[in-house]
Amino acid sequence: MEVYLDNSATTRVFPEVAELMVKIMCEDYGNPSSLHLKGVQAEQYLRQAKGSFSRLLKVNEKEIFFTSGGTESDNMALTGCALANRRRGNHLITTAIEHPAVLNTMRYLESMGYRVTYLPVDACGRIVLDDLQRAMTPDTILVSIMHTNNEIGSLQPIAEAGALIKRINPNTLFHVDAVQGFGKAKIYPKKMGIDLLSASGHKIHGPKGVGLLYIGEKVKIQPIIYGGGQQMNLRSGTDNVSGIAGFTKAAELLYEHYDDDVKRLYQCKHYFMDGLRKMDGIKINGLLPDRPDGGGTAPHIVSASVSGVRSEVLLHALEEEGIYVSAGSACAARKPQPSVTLKAIGIEKPLLESTIRFSFSVYTTPEELDYTLRVIYGKIPMLRKYTRR
């Protein structure tokens, strides 16, 4: 049996998405900037995409911009806003557990002379709103807080943070990296005080290489990519029509069955965690103290630290049995550095290198989870004995 439980890294594309993309690449392949019929046909896909995402997010069509993925969206939001608003201040705020696309951009901005505050998180991976309030200053121009942590599934109090930021300083911009949250939670930027929001296609059964950035119409931002002036001069480059259309189709399909899918993901999470708890020496990370069932965290992520077994060893042992998981964030999986997220929530040093992330999708079945648990029950005692030797 082959079991794919690394859906936080990327997801299997919906068949309908693949079919649509092939049609566009082979039939409706015009450049949307061209004035002839082929170009007009291509442009219609872009208009449909903007309309669809504007309805899903309850925003205006002109506030939707398409990018090459979540990383570009985060870079565009942070760098573009920092540069455009520098006369108002040079202070930025983020959290200690952001995705590298945000953390490394913030470090770049620090090298440019900006001052960055990195908010700590509690043992569950959540910021404390009082810390955010204390960090705010008159020259704070932007706050960036992720919606869903990609490693442990913690959810941030986005609506509360947005209200707090706007109450203290209505001019401070609020960016949310929703790459892991979009499609698993209903996020409405205008209701939540969000000025900029990033999302990515390949996390929701769409294609890789395409994402979006919501930019509120009153946001002052400058482009970081220059060229032909596409997308209202904010993001130049020939539009990835097939990718954008595929991303749109995936989002539409997810939202059609949103309530049932999220409920089933939580059922998978609860069932799988119960199975893991039957073994000694396994710690599940990021859970709320009063919600052992995983409520109040992302429905699709389980982070488990396995004492006495290195994560890479367990990962490859599971791979031998056709089970695919991740040792933390896929974006940092090939770099031998302890997870900043696990360090931030206070995971004991021996467990920092013994943590596995399991992440589910709408394709995950109970049979796959049962098979994975059986393999884990068989592998871990043997691996622990080998490690002790």
Q: Which of 81, 124, 268, 331 is catalytic?
A: 331
What residues are paired with 140 via a beta bridge?
91
CB contact at 8 A, 32 and 42: yes
CA–CA separation, 331 vs 99, rounded Å? 8
- SS3 assignment for 233-260: CCCCCCCCHHHHHHHHHHHHHHHHCHHH
CB contact at 8 A, 50 and 61: yes
Instruction: Phi first, then psi: give them for residue 312, nearest 5 degrees.
Output: -65, -35
CA–CA separation, 163 vs 299, rounded Å? 25
* Tokens found for residue 72: 């570009």
Provide the edge-to-edge strand list for the sheet that holds 91-95: 64-67, 211-215, 196-200, 173-177, 140-144, 91-95, 115-119
- Residues 6 or more apart in contact with residue 205 via CB below 8 angstroms: 11, 12, 13, 14, 17, 250, 253, 254, 361, 362
331 is catalytic: yes
Residue found under tokens 């202070």: 91
* Active-site residue list: 331
